[in-house]
Amino acid sequence: MTTVKTKMPTYIPSATPTDISSNAYIRQNPWKKIDNVINSVRRSNKIHIPFAHNKDAAEAFKNSPASVLTAIPEDHHAQVDLCLNLPIGTIVVVPNGSKGILVRIQSAIKAGIQDTLCIAHSSRSCGHTHIRSGGFCTPCHDSVVEVFDYADTASLQKHLRVGHSFEPFYTLFFDVEILGDVDYNGVDGRSIAGMSSVGRRTLYWKLV
């Protein structure tokens, strides 16, 4: 699949306040099985909420937003809850190695299929049609082979050749405006985003 190459502004960290600052970071690497995090965000103009990328969470949120945490393992409640409370307009860093992308949240949380992504999985003994959180079903978690763009025909053919199955990428997500690429410019990535999948952190950025 061709990578999205639209020229975007590039920002680097600033030690002093600037015109643009981010207030959170949210990783986009479900099950650590996605190859191109940045391209995924650019293609979709969406960011999904980590640990809420399954049909159970999406359906729970649709039925009653207050009940969504019942579909998420307790050890991930704090990270999901942080995302649930991010207001429209929040600027978020999506980290990816020593670089990333800067986005502004444009919508309230939505629930359903993020339709630029799909899941390739091996056969699983649990019998679940749609993947459940690994905290509730280990065979579901272990069956994930790759999360990839449905338009990536090379990956699709690769999985078909070895007999993998496919399912939609159900999730909670935000629509976002992409503001630009970020380059840490030698700054330690741990000061940009912590080890957690989600976190609050105020950072200043300047154009290069």
Inside any domain, residue 164: no
Helix (H, G, I), strand (E, B) or coil at 112: strand
Structure tokens at 18: 């600037």
pLDDT digits (tens, 9 = 90+) for 97-120: 889 999 999 999 999 999 999 999
Inside any domain, residue 163: no
User: Per DSSP, what are the bridge partners of residue 157?
Assistant: none
Lowest mean pLDDT among 4-18, 29-43, 96-110, 141-155: 4-18
Q: How large is the average pLDDT for residues 8-36?
A: 95
pLDDT of residue 95: 94
Inside any domain, residue 71: yes
For residue 36, pLDDT over 90 is answered with: no
pLDDT of residue 120: 98
Structure tokens at 22: 């981010």
pLDDT digits (tens, 9 = 90+) for 63-76: 999 999 999 999 99
Beta strands in the chain (DSSP E): 10-14, 20-26, 46-48, 91-96, 99-105, 110-121, 144-149, 165-183, 198-207
pLDDT of residue 3: 53
pLDDT digits (tens, 9 = 90+) for 79-89: 999 999 999 99
Phi-psi map region of 166: left, alpha, beta (phi>0 left; psi -120 to 50 alpha): beta
pLDDT of residue 97: 87
pLDDT digits (tens, 9 = 90+) for 147-187: 999 899 999 999 999 999 999 999 999 999 999 999 999 99
pLDDT of residue 98: 87
Q: What is the 3-state secondary structure (H, E, C) of 55-79?
A: HHHHHHHHHCHHHHHHHCCHHHHHH
The count of domains in the chain is 1
pLDDT of residue 34: 94
Inside any domain, residue 132: no
Mean pLDDT over each residue of the chain, to the nearest integer:
94
Inside any domain, residue 149: no
> pTM of the full predicted structure?
0.93
pLDDT of residue 6: 64
Q: What is the 3-state secondary structure (H, E, C) of 115-137?
A: EEEEEEECCCCCCCCCCCCCCCC
Q: How large is the average pLDDT for residues 11-15?
A: 96
Quick one: DSSP state of residue 89? T
pLDDT of residue 1: 57
Domain of residue 59 covers 10-111+171-207
For residue 2, pLDDT over 60 is answered with: no
Dihedral (Cα; 138, 143, 146, 152), 10-degree rounding: -140
Per the CB < 8 A criterion, the answer to whether 25 and 92 are in contact is yes
